[in-house]
Amino acid sequence: MPQPQTERTPRVLAVVDGMIPSVELVLSQPFDHLQAQGKLNYALHVISDPALPLSMSGFDALILMRVYQPQAMALAQAAEVAGIPLIYILDDDFSALDPQTPLGRHYADARAWERILGICAMARQVWTFSQALVDKVGAVQAHVVKLPAIANIELVDRLRAELHPPPQPAKVIGYAASLTHAGDLAAITRPLLAVLDAYPDWSIEIVNVDPGSLGRHARVKHFPGLPSVEQFYRFVMQRNWAIGLAPLLRTAANDAKTDNKYREYAALGISGIYSPAPPYAGSVAQGITGLYADGADEWVRAIATMIDDPTRRQGIVDMAREDVRSRYPLPGVAQRYLECLQAALRRPLQVIVIAPSAIPSVDIDIVRPFSRLQAEGLIDWTLTQQDQIGDGDLRDKDCAVIVRYSDPLTVDLMRRAREVHGVPTVYAWDDDFFSIPDGLGAITDYYQSPSTLDSLRHILREATIVKASTPRLAARSREYSSHVTVAPFGFDFDQLTSAGGTDAESADVVIGFFGSHSHGLNVALVSPVLARVAAEFPSTRFELFGPAGVLFGNLPRVTHLPWCASSSESINLLRGRGWSIGLAPFEDNLFNRTKLPTKYRDYSACGIAGVYSRIDPYADNVIEGVTGLLADQDPQSWYLAIRKLVEDADLRRRIASRAYLHVRDTLSVEGAVTAWRKIFVGLDTIPPHAAPAGHVPAAEHVEDRSGEQIAMLERRVRLLQISARLLLEQKRQLEGGKLGRLRRVVQRIRGTNHFGRDRSPAFAHFLPHAGSVLSSSMQLELSANLQALSHVEFAIVGAVAGCDVVEVAISLPVPTLPGMLTLEIISPDGAVILSSTIPLEDVDPFLPVRFHVGESLARAGSQGKLRFSTKGSFAPVFLFQMRHRQTALVMPFLGFSTAGEA
C-alpha cells in the first residue's frame, strides 16, 4: 500500500484546437466549475495562441483536446520529459470523415488521425464519450475512459427564468446539426414530407445543416448556425420547439458521436425521436425518455405519436429532463473529471482479485467496475482463482480482493496476505452462506458443514474490509467485523446495444420471466395464477427465458427463449422483446432475504413494469404502485397485481418509466464504481487488521497449508533460531560499545558473503574496504529506524552504467517478522522511475538485500536518488550508512552490480 498522499490543488494546462461548442461543453464549463470551487487551477489556450506556454514548469498535468498539430506533439513530449501526466480528450473519429468533403480532406492532408494516435499512445489517460472511440483508441492506449458530458441543465434553467418561454410548445419540429450531417437529414426527408402533408398546422425548422430538397417546402424554414451554445439555446427556446429530431446513419463517424442531442433535447424540454444508433442506445429508453425510429414508416409513426398524444409527449419530456438532471449535472460531471485527473496524478494501486471464474457476481461487481477503474489508472488488477494463486502472486500488491470463497484455504490465504506480505484484504460476498436452505444437495452439505461455517467466521474477522451487497448482509457481516461497507451491484447500461422494443401499440400483453428459475422461484404459487390470467385475458402472451419449466409448462401462447451464455446478449434480447410485464416470484426464506433485487434491476433497465414478491430484496427497493407492484405470498395477491397491469396500459407505462429512472439513478454500475473507488482510496485509513477485539486465530488450519507454505514456515523457524542466538550474543557484548558492535556486525556480513568485493567500478566507489570504512575520515553508523520514518533517501553518486542490481546492507535486530522493504529510484525531477518491494521475512540477515532494477539506474543518472522505506514492519529496520566526519556528508553502505554477478 502506498503512503497516504496529501491532496493539493492540481495546476493544469489545457490546449484545444478552437473554441467550438464541444470544447465549451466538455472542457471549459466543467473546469471553470472546478476552479471556482478551488479544486483545480487551469489555463486554457488555443493551439494557435502565440502566448501558449512551451514549458511544463509550474503545471501538474497537461490536457490536449482535438489537437494534432506539430505544436501539440511538442507539448506532449515536453510533458513526458517533465514527468507530468498527459490527458487527451477526443470526441470525434477524424479517421472516419469522408475525405471527399472539405473537412475530411483537411484532416487527411494533415495526417491528423495518425498524429492523434501518436499523442494518445504517450498519454496517461484518454477521455472519450463513445464506446466506438474507446474501442478504437484502445489499440494504442490501455487507459481510455468513457466519460459523460454535461446536459447544461443549469444554463437552461437560467435562460428559462430570463426568457419566460410560453408553457405550451409551438407546433414545430426542429433539427440542428453541423454541415457534415446533411446525409442524416436527407435519409428522413420523405417521412418528414409525409408528416407535413398529414399535419398541415405543423412546421419544420432546420438550423445550419443543408436541408436539401426538404428546404423547398413552404413550411420548412432554414436558419444559419449560431456561434455559441448559449445563443443556440436562446434561439431554440424562443422558437419553442415541441419535437426534436436526431437522425443518425450507421457510419463509423456517427457511431463515435456522443449522445449530445439527447442531452440537449431533454434539458430544453423537447421530446426527442432518435435513430437506434450506438450513441443513443445506452442513453434513451424507448417510450420513456424518447422514441426510436428506424426506417420511413417508423419515423412517420413516431412523429405522429408525439403529435397526436400531447400527454404522452409531455411524459417523455418530464422523464428525460429528470434523467439528465440526475445523470449529467455540471457538479456531478465536473467531479467525475476531477476523479480521473486525480487518478492520473497518482501511481495505480496493484490489486489482485481471487474469485471463482465464470459466475455472474464476478462479471457484474468485479470485471465491469474494475475495468472502468483500470481505464482511469486508479488500479492495475489481475484475476485468478484460489487454487491457482502462489505466494509470490501477493508480493508488491496494494490490495487483495477475495470474492465468495469460504473455506480453510481462504483463511490461510488472508492470513498470508496480511502477515507475510502486509497486503490489506477486501472480502466481497453477495449471499448469506450462513443461511443456505435445506434441500440443495451438495451445496447445502458444503455450506452447512462446521468447517465451512467456522472458516467463514474467520474470513469475516480477518478481512481488512468486508463488502456486502445488501443492508441485511451488511448487518450479518458486522457480527464479525467492524469495517463493513454496503454497496449493491449495478446495472451496466453501456452493455445495451439494441434500441429496445417497438413503440407501436399492440393488442397483446406480453408477460415474461427472465432468468434461471432454480433460485427460489415459487412455482406452486404462481403457476395457477398464470393459468387463470391466460384464460381470462386471451390477449396475453407468455415468454420464458431459459429451459422450459413447470412455471409456463401448461400455458397457451408460450414462447421459450434460450438463455445466452453472455449475460449482455441475454439483456439485449430481453430489451428487444417489448415485454409488458415481468414476473419475479421469490420464495420467502432467510437466504433469499439477503439477496439482491436482480429482477427489478434487469426489468426496470429494459423498460418493463414488474410484479415482485414482497420480501426484502424487492420490498426495500420497489415503491408500491410507482416503480412496480408487490405481491404477498398467496395466489390471490399475485392474480390481482398481474390483472391490474394487464388491464391498465397507462399504469404499465408510468411504472416502467419511474422504475427505469430509479435504477438508472441508484442501481447502475456507476454506483458500484464509486463504491469500489472509495474502498481503494480509503484503504490507507483502515487499520491493518479489522477483526474485533478478542479474536483468537484458529490454529486448526495450519495443517492444510501447501508444501510451499510449510517450507516457508520451516525457514522462519530457522531464522528465528538464528535471531535468538544473535540477540544473546549482542547482550553479552554490550560492554564492547556501539562502535565495536557495529564493526563486528559489518565484519560478520563481509565475512559471510564478501560484501566488500570489488564487483564493478561503481561497487568499489560505494563500498570501501574495511580499512577505509573505519578510517579517521569516515564513520560507520546505522540510519534512523525506517519503521518510524516515511523514508530515507540517498543521492546516486558515481558511475552506474551497465548496473541493474542495487545491494544494500541492513540491520534487522529481530528478523523474520512481517513487513516490507521498498526501494524507489527517483528521477532528478522527483518522479518515481521504479518501485521494488521485498518481504522482510525473506531477508537473510547475513546477506545483502538485492533489488533488481533493470535500466532504472541509467534512467535516473547521477542526479537521481535512492529512496528506502518500510511498511507494516513489526520490528526496527536500519540501513548501514557512512558519515564523513568533517563534512557530515552521508553515503549509503551499498553497491551496484549486474544481475549476472554472483
Element (H, E) at 677: helix 669-681
Handedness of CA 457, 462, 463, 466 (dihedral sign): positive
Mean predicted confidence (pLDDT) in 29-44: 96
Q: Which of 293, 296, 317 is nearest to 242 (CA)?
A: 317
CA–CA dist 474, 453 (Å, integer): 17
pLDDT at 309: 95
pLDDT tier for residue 520 given thresholds of 50, 70 and 90:
very low
Report pLDDT digits (tens) over 805-838: 888 888 777 666 677 888 889 888 888 888 888 8
What DSSP designation does 290 have?
A: B
Q: Cα dist. 4→9, 120, 790, 865 in Å?
A: 16, 29, 10, 21
Q: Which of 91, 27, 103, 93 is nearest to 62 (CA)?
A: 27
Provide, rounded to the nearest whole percent, the portion of the chain with pLDDT above 70: 82
Would you give the distance in Å from CA 753 to the centre of its chain? 48
Residue 699 has pLDDT above 60, yes or no: no
The region that residue 366 occupies, defined by phi over 0 for left and psi between -120 and 50 for alpha, beta otherwise, is alpha
CA–CA dist 745, 156 (Å, integer): 75
Residue 745 has pLDDT above 70, yes or no: no
Label residues 458-489 b or e (16+ Cβ within 10 Å = b): bbbbbbbbbbbbbebbbebbbebbebbbbbbb
The region that residue 516 occupies, defined by phi over 0 for left and psi between -120 and 50 for alpha, beta otherwise, is beta
pLDDT tier for residue 899 given thresholds of 50, 70 and 90:
low
Q: Which residue has the higher pLDDT, 844 or 385?
A: 385
Q: Cα dist. 897→443, 618, 800 in Å?
A: 56, 64, 8
Least confident of 168-182, 603-617, 737-751: 737-751
pLDDT tier for residue 848 given thresholds of 50, 70 and 90:
confident
Residue 651 has pLDDT above 50, yes or no: yes
In the Cβ-directed half-sphere of 74, how many Cα atoms lie within 13 Å?
A: 8
- Length reported for the chain: 902
pLDDT at 893: 66
Residue 693 has pLDDT above 70, yes or no: no
Residue 584 has pLDDT above 80, yes or no: yes
Tell me what the pLDDT averaged over the chain comes to: 84
pLDDT at 747: 47
Q: CB of 670 within 8 A of CB of 494?
A: no
Q: Cα dist. 303→191, 243, 306, 511 in Å?
A: 9, 8, 5, 28
Least confident of 5-14, 334-343, 765-774: 765-774
Which runs of E-coded beta strand occur in 158-284? 172-177, 203-208, 220-223, 243-246, 271-274
Report pLDDT digits (tens) over 92-124: 999 998 888 888 898 999 999 999 999 999 999
Mean predicted confidence (pLDDT) in 754-772: 36
CA–CA dist 413, 405 (Å, integer): 10
pLDDT at 873: 73
pLDDT at 714: 54
pLDDT at 787: 79
Element (H, E) at 894: strand 894-897
Mean predicted confidence (pLDDT) in 729-737: 50
Mean predicted confidence (pLDDT) in 696-707: 39
Report pLDDT digits (tens) over 227-248: 889 999 999 999 999 999 999 9
Residue 760 has pLDDT above 80, yes or no: no
Mean predicted confidence (pLDDT) in 653-663: 95
pLDDT at 618: 95
Least confident of 46-50, 380-384, 780-784: 780-784
Residue 259 has pLDDT above 60, yes or no: yes
Label residues 527-547 b or e (16+ Cβ within 10 Å = b): bebbeebbeeeeebbbbbbbe
Between helices 310-327 and 260-268, what is the axis angle to 10°?
A: 110
pLDDT tier for residue 500 given thresholds of 50, 70 and 90:
low
Burial class (CB within 10 angstroms; exposed 0-12, middle 13-18, buried 19+) of 763: buried
pLDDT at 768: 39
Residue 147 has pLDDT above 80, yes or no: yes
Handedness of CA 130, 131, 137, 143 (dihedral sign): positive
CA–CA dist 571, 552 (Å, integer): 20
pLDDT at 892: 67
Would you give the distance in Å from CA 223 to the centre of its chain? 42
Residue 465 has pLDDT above 80, yes or no: yes
Residue 851 has pLDDT above 90, yes or no: no
Residue 511 has pLDDT above 90, yes or no: yes
pLDDT tier for residue 777 given thresholds of 50, 70 and 90:
low
CA–CA dist 839, 779 (Å, integer): 29
Mean predicted confidence (pLDDT) in 347-352: 95
DSSP-derived secondary structure for 585-640: ----SHHHHTS--HHHHHHHHTT-EEEEESSHHHHTT--BTTTBEEE-SSHHHHHH
pLDDT tier for residue 690 given thresholds of 50, 70 and 90:
very low
Residue 533 has pLDDT above 70, yes or no: yes
CA–CA dist 448, 815 (Å, integer): 42
pLDDT at 785: 80
